[in-house]
Amino acid sequence: MLRELRRLGTIRIKFQGGEPTLKPDFPEICWEARKLGMITSTVTNGMRTSANPELLDPLMEVVVSLDSLRPDINDHMRGPGAFKGAMKTIDLSLGKGIKTYVNMALCQINLEDLEALLTFCERRGMKMNAQPIKFGVVYYDDEARPFALTPSQIREFHLQMIEWKKRGRGIMFSASSFQKALDWPDLTQNNIRCRGDSDCMAGKFYFHIDPNGDVIPCIPHGADLAPKNILKDGLYEALRQVRYHNCGDCWSPYLNERKALFRLRPEAIIEFFKRG
């Protein structure tokens, strides 16, 4: 599968979950992808990598999930031991010279920790992404909805991110991507559908493969789409089908940054090169 992806032009592959490092053959898969010439990246909570540093060796980018510098808050969100695992993985990854980033999932119990975590990342030379936890999309449990930020809190957060970005702070993505979220009329609606085929880059220049083999445009997509499966339908057929969908737009800054980059918007290109 990796060889076929590379043959079709894939230049970067990102393993995420769940926790991708739990897969027994995770390092072998990453080494094979790297041998084929792909950029290898993962998102991890750091618990397995902290105990098994060799898991980091085939990676070129590591995104560590860290939600608070208060161990009790972080572990409440991520599980016992997650704080120590994340902090040690950051040390290990930076020590190995790997491009290292932090991703913060924002909710009611850690909103006040935002600037402290940003300052920590800046001191370690890392860029940080923070994003409100979304509900009403696949993989997100509505039982946790009481922890969600209100629309007004989400707007205040994006306004703050714009201000910090303009001041040159260590935030991933351009101010215009946060402005798109700030201007979104209804933040309880994650995306909108379009008539006909979408001009979104998701499904065309990047895509997501679920653990069961389903191929979708992106994780939070809102398309009316019955995905093809790489195991049942084949990779080529699944990729051909996912190019055409009706998810028209969304407010997620990280997805809008991708769209801006593929559309060669200057601010996104500048931000891309700043991240190295």
Q: How many domains does the chain have?
A: 1
Q: Per-residue pLDDT averaged across 122-130, rounded?
A: 98
The pLDDT of residue 86 is above 60:
yes
159 lies in some domain: no
Could you tell me if residue 259 is inside a domain?
Answer: no
pLDDT for 94 beyond 60: yes
Is 85 within the bounds of a domain? yes
* pLDDT band of 138, cuts 50, 70, 90: low
**In a domain? residue 42:** yes
Does residue 272 sit within a domain? no
pTM: 0.93
Q: Residue 156 falls within a domain, yes or no?
A: no
DSSP per-residue string spanning the chain: -HHHHHHTT--EEEE-SS-GGGSTTHHHHHHHHHHTT-EEEEEE-SHHHHH-GGGGTT-SEEEEE---SSHHHHHHHH-TTHHHHHHHHHHHHHHTT-EEEEEEEE-TTTGGGHHHHHHHHHHHT-EEEEEEPP-SSTT--GGGGGGSPPHHHHHHHHHHHHHHHHTT-SBSS-HHHHHHHHH-S-TT--EEE-SSS---SBTTTB-EE-TTSBEES-TT--------BTTTT-HHHHHHHHTS--EEEE--HHHHHHHHHHTT-HHHHHHHHHT-
Q: For 47-56, what is each residue's pLDDT tens digit? A: 999 999 999 9
Q: Tell me whether residue 82 is in a domain.
A: yes
Which structural domain, as residue segments, surrounds residue 24?
1-149
CATH of the domain at 102: 3.20.20.70
Within-domain flag for 80? yes
